[in-house]
Amino acid sequence: MTTTIHTSRYQNGEEILRLGLVPIRITMGAPRFKLPYTLAGSIRGLAPSRDTMYGGGDFTAKYVAQLDEMGVDEIRRQILAITGDGADPVLLCFEHIEIQGEGSCHRRMFADWWHAQTGENVPEIDDRGNLSQKLLAMKKRQEKAAPTLGV
């Protein structure tokens, strides 16, 4: 694969369209809201399984085990089966990591795993320019409330 895998959230349609990325669903369920683009496909093996989500235990360890079981070669094969022409894919889920943090999201866990396995970076396509004033205010409040380390 000579393309770059990206990640983002479904709601980042403007950037996905602007960059000409191939949108791929990596969630068990599809969005119930209208998207400004058509999903090119879905890779269910990259969606956390029901056991991973609801079975208790360490979510990260269970999700990494799920990725290990699927493996790099199979993931590449499935991505290429969807993108076909070599366009860059974007793996999509719902979480807004700019507010919730990268640790809240399986797409960024995938990105870390992929980099560890292949050495390939998986950039996040963010939508900072599109954040509403309400979300910006929430983020500022969270940053102010974050504990600081004394030096």
- Per-residue pLDDT of 125-148, as tens digits, reads 876 533 344 444 555 555 566 554
Taking residues 53-80, report their average pLDDT.
91
Give the Cα separation of 134 and 138 in Å (integer). 6
SS3 content of the chain, % helix, strand, coil (to 5): 50, 10, 40
pTM of the entire structure? 0.79
15-34 confidence digits (pLDDT tens): 899 889 999 999 988 899 99
